[in-house]
Each structure stands twice: as C-alpha cells, then as structure tokens.
Copies of this chain bind each other. A is one copy, B any other.
Amino acid sequence: MISEQTASREDYLEAIAKLREEEPSVRVTQISKRLGVKKPSVTAALHKLSEDGLVKHRRYGVVELTPEGRRIAEEVMRRHEVLFRFLSEVLDIDGEIAQEDACRVEHLLSPTSLDRLAKFVEFVLTCPKGQPVWHKGFKYYSEQGERDQELVARRLGEESQ
C-alpha cells in the first residue's frame, strides 16, 4: 500500500498492528501488499520476529503480535503520528509524501528529538499565546519563497558559517 523498497522489523510490527485494526485476522498477503514487499520477504521477516518473541505465527496460519510486539508497534505508531502531523499539519506537506517520509524517518529520530517534536507540534497547533496568525504567516511566507528558493538556500548557507 505504502510505497517502500525496504522495510525494517519495526515496519512489520507497525503494519501488523494497523491491519489488525482493520481486519479480524492478519495474513501474510495483507502484510505483503501493505509494505510493498513480496511474500517470501514477509515469511522471512516473520521468522525472525517470531524468534525474538514479537509475533506469533504458525505455518500457513494467521499472524498475531505478542504483548511485547504490540508495545513496540504502538511506540512506532506514536512516532509515526508525531512525524506525520508535523509534516502535514505544520509544514503543510502533501499527505502521501508526509506518510512516506514519516515511515522512513520514524525509525531513526532519537527519543529526545521525537518527544521535543511532539511538544513542538502540540505547541504550534495549540498556540497558547493566542496567535494562530503565525501559521497563516508561514504559509504566506512559504508561498512567496517558492519563487526565490535559491535565495533562501543561499541565505541559509551564509548564516551557517
């Protein structure tokens, strides 16, 4: 479903958890479609995840998360959510792209940055000081900037010396 070339263990757990919310039983084919990966890759991944006690899976049977697997999946989903909201709601990135970027980045950001980002998103969208103006302000600024992207890049470069 979501286009990706390579999926990590965490992606599998996340996919299984999401599918579980949508359908009563999770099967290899569903995971395969969702992650854009062939079925043998899913089988292989499930083997490893089984060994690590994160999923339960008997040959030709359904796939389930263990409590530990579920815990991790939920953590990943939380990270995904934070990133997705930042990209789509704060940066106003197209939903499709925001999903893909969130998928890729969700495994790599440190907990520190992630937590801080969560607070930041919360802050920006809540705007406690009562200035939701800033959001419109950014959109305006950003659209203007589309024309002289180069200029902005150059300014960034200079300031960073």
Residues of B with C-beta under 8 A to A133: 129
Number of this chain's copies in the assembly equals 2
A81–B157 touching, CB < 8 Å:
yes
Instruction: Write the nearest CB–CB distance from A99 to chain B, whole angstroms.
Output: 11
Known: A97-B112, A123-B137, A157-B81. A91 touches B118 (CB 8 A): no
Residues of B with C-beta under 8 A to A78: 153, 156-157
Known: A82-B156, A131-B131. A119 touches B141 (CB 8 A): yes
A141–B156 touching, CB < 8 Å:
no
Residues of B with C-beta under 8 A to A93: 112-113, 116
Within 8 A of B (CB), among A27-42: none
Known: A116-B92, A129-B133, A142-B116. A110 touches B97 (CB 8 A): yes
Instruction: Write the nearest CB–CB distance from A80 to chain B, whole angstroms.
Output: 10
Q: How many interface residues does chain A have, given as a range?
A: 35 or more
7 nearest A-B residue pairs (beta carbon): A104-B108, A91-B116, A123-B141, A119-B142, A119-B145, A81-B160, A101-B113
Sample of 13 A–B contacts (CB below 8 Å): A78-B153, A81-B156, A85-B156, A91-B116, A101-B109, A104-B109, A119-B142, A119-B145, A120-B138, A120-B142, A123-B142, A129-B134, A131-B134
